[in-house]
Structure 1
Amino acid sequence: MEVFAVEGLPEVRRGDSVAELVAERADLQDGDVVCVASTIVSKAAGRQADLADFPASERAERIADGIADIAGEEKDPRFAQAVIEASEEILTEAPFILAVTRFGHITVNAGIDRSNVPGADLLLLPEDPTDCAERIRAGLAEHLGVDVAVIVTDTSGRPFRLGQRGVALGWAGIPAARDWRGESDREGRELGATVQAVVDELAAAGNLVTGEGAGGTPVAVVRGFDFGDHAGSDELYRPEDKDVVRDALREWSHVRD
């Protein structure tokens, strides 16, 4: 399997076609997996915003004050308000804001970015990353005549571990997971629990070559990945009624209040 970054992409602006920009610079082949950073998808969709767009509510003021007390430095309540408005639910208010986005992803600050946003204070995640992936995939097929998969990615922290890694927010042309249940291990024992989140693993592989910071390479291509003869699933986000961690965080937050 080969993973490489797409070089030479310009600064993406509102109204740009991500598919067209990639098609002009990448020699894609059928079966490639194109990992596209959510930052450029959001920029093309005009998801930039200013802090002034989010007058702080009482809740935002309380959240900012609580985090400031822990961190020992002042926090802008308007940022907390932006997170509130971008979220379906706030799971924790301190020591950081852990939010459920409206498309199901759970992440710190609802994934709102404050770096590499020319002309604005904030960059919000795409409203519907899977729809974005589908449209980019269709655009690449139109421009290059290729059948590829597309994953819209972001970087996210990990419970119980230091550091961040790439994760999938939306995907098209590939199942989210490879389901090994019902298959056998080397001893002939039937697997009953193994479901491999391949879109997350591919997003992480792409992130190794796109990098962070000022690299300016927000698109990676994974070539030679073989899904294999396995059942596929598009379930990636754990159902709320089976999410014991989410329930524990709600209970913890309730006790703190």
Structure 2
Amino acid sequence: MNERTTDGHPPGYRVWALPGIPEVTPGDDLAKLIAAAATADGVPQLLDGDVLVVTSKIVSKAEGRVVEAVDREAAIDQETVRVVARRGTLRIVQNRQGLVMAAAGVDASNTPAGTVLLLPEDPDASARALRAGLRSALGVDVGIVISDTFGRPWRGGVTDVAIGAAGVRVLDDLRGGTDAYGNPLSATVVATADELTAAGDLVKGKATGLPVAVVRGLPHVVEEAGEDDGAHALVRSPEDDMFRLGTSEAVREAVTLRRTVRAFRDDPVDPGAVRRAVAAALTAPAPHHTAPWRFVLLESAESRTRLLDAMRDAWIADLRGDGTSEEAIARRVRRGEVLRNAPYLAVPCMVTDGAHDYPDARRSAAEREMFVVAHGAGIQNFLVALAGERLGSAWISSTMFCRDVVRDVLELPDAWEPMGAVAIGRPAQAPTERAPRAAGDFVVVR
């Protein structure tokens, strides 16, 4: 069924480029320039409900965002808050405006040699000022979208998207409604402002000297003054951004995020996340093409309590055998409760059934060390992968001191050597800042 508007016509809109806008220079009143171009024979050609799509370059020029820069890379550095991905000289970064884009939006085209053009300092504020200026000059209430060119993940080519907006419904949240078949819409939020900018770019072009487009026929996307959220609402929050980093950058951040966490929330741990971390552990190097890792996952509270009670009893017996006072034993047992407070435990075990036999102790010891090192590499992969899942962890050595007890409680083969236990859960608080370490202090070059 073809829906119709209130006047009986099928839905539709028009979009055209606005001619007559001169070269913009710093200090120009952009609203007046656009108003003049949108007036013919003293009559404004804009109507209430129109949307103007304005290229960010002319906004930047009017606001004096043209800066001298012999080296464009230095300007990109100044505008960068966070590097998202880097491939050779190409950088995808988050800039000062919170936008993730190539080269922080620093543009060396359409600007005099030896200068670069920065994005508007606050594109939403620029859009609000432009909307107010046009209302004052022409007496019309229009929506404003400030556009810039973006590449996109998963898609070839570039398109224009909204980086600033005023008086426009930037997002159309359809969640809670139904589709044409009555199915509930649970995830559909339309980026209306981006669709408007893409439509405008089809008539503005990239090198035609037509920096402003008019979209007419969609008055429902124009908001009352003061009601819109601006284009900043289009920026996905870090918590919801599943693609916040490039591949190598994500690996480095996960390594950095790997911290020993000793206090956990009560939230349940996703077993699938732990199994994905186990899969990462299995990619570590190992001697003789072996796989010396085994992981015992304690997913029930009963299994965790049974193991930890037995380990505690064994530890207390060892301490008493050493002549430790009861007060000191109680204190040390309290300090060792990290594993008990975690909602999930994993016990990594080493197997050496692929080791070579040697007649002398020296080579036999080296053979075992190879397996221990490989097992440590697997555990590091495991911990880093957990950090990538936003799970905290603490690798505690305690099972190594009572291996027979652990094997007995967990019913493990004699050849499995428990190599500590890993407490896993959502961190109860943000970790403290880690003191920086200069790589050069740990390097010797020969």
Per the TM alignment, residue 94 of structure 1 is displaced from its structure 2 partner at its CA by: 2.2
| Structure-2 residue corresponding to 1:251 | 250
**Contact persistence 1:84–1:90 (CA under 8 A):** no
| Structure-2 residue corresponding to 1:74 | none
* TM, length-normalised to structure 1: 0.83
Out of 234, 237, 240, the residue aligned to residue 239 of structure 1 is 237
**Contact persistence 1:88–1:102 (CA under 8 A):** yes
The worse-fitting range, judged by mean Cα deviation, of 120-129 and 247-256 is 247-256
Q: Report 1:78-93 matches (<5 A).
A: 78-93=71-86
Identity %: 42
Verify: 1:25 aligned to 2:37, yes or no.
Answer: yes
Verify: 1:216 aligned to 2:209, yes or no.
Answer: yes
Q: What is the alpha-carbon root mean square deviation over aligned residues?
A: 2.3
Verify: 1:141 aligned to 2:140, yes or no.
Answer: no
| Structure-1 residue corresponding to 2:167 | 173
Verify: 1:4 aligned to 2:22, yes or no.
Answer: no
Q: Which has the higher helix share?
A: 2
**What is the distance in 2 between the residues matched to 1:39 and 1:12?**
9
Bigger RCO (CA 8 Å, 6+ sep): 1
Residue aligned with 1:116, SS: coil
How big is each residue's C-alpha offset from its partner over 1:135-178, in whole Å with a ceiling of 9 and x where there is no partner? 00000000000000000101111212221111000000012100
**What is the distance in 1 between the residues matched to 2:160 and 2:106?**
15
Out of 31, 37, 42, the residue aligned to residue 55 of structure 2 is 37
Aligned residues: 230
**Partner AA of 2:237 in structure 1:** P
* TM, length-normalised to structure 2: 0.49
Q: Structure 1 residues 127 and 233 mapped into 2: Cα distance closer, same or farther (>3 Å)?
A: closer
**What is the distance in 2 between the residues matched to 1:220 and 1:238?**
26
**Contact persistence 1:178–1:227 (CA under 8 A):** no
| Structure-2 residue corresponding to 1:104 | 98
**Partner AA of 1:245 in structure 2:** F
Give structure 2 stretches of 5+ with no counterpart: 1-12, 39-44, 222-227, 256-446
**What is the distance in 1 between the residues matched to 2:29 and 2:19?**
16
| Structure-1 residue corresponding to 2:27 | 15
**Contact persistence 1:206–1:220 (CA under 8 A):** yes
**What is the distance in 2 between the residues matched to 1:191 and 1:169?**
27
Per the TM alignment, residue 255 of structure 1 is displaced from its structure 2 partner at its CA by: 8.6
Give structure 1 stretches of 5+ with no counterpart: 53-77
Q: Structure 1 residues 145 and 165 mapped into 2: Cα distance closer, same or farther (>3 Å)?
A: same
Residue aligned with 1:175, SS: coil
Q: Which runs of 4+ in 1 moved over 3 A?
A: 247-250, 252-256
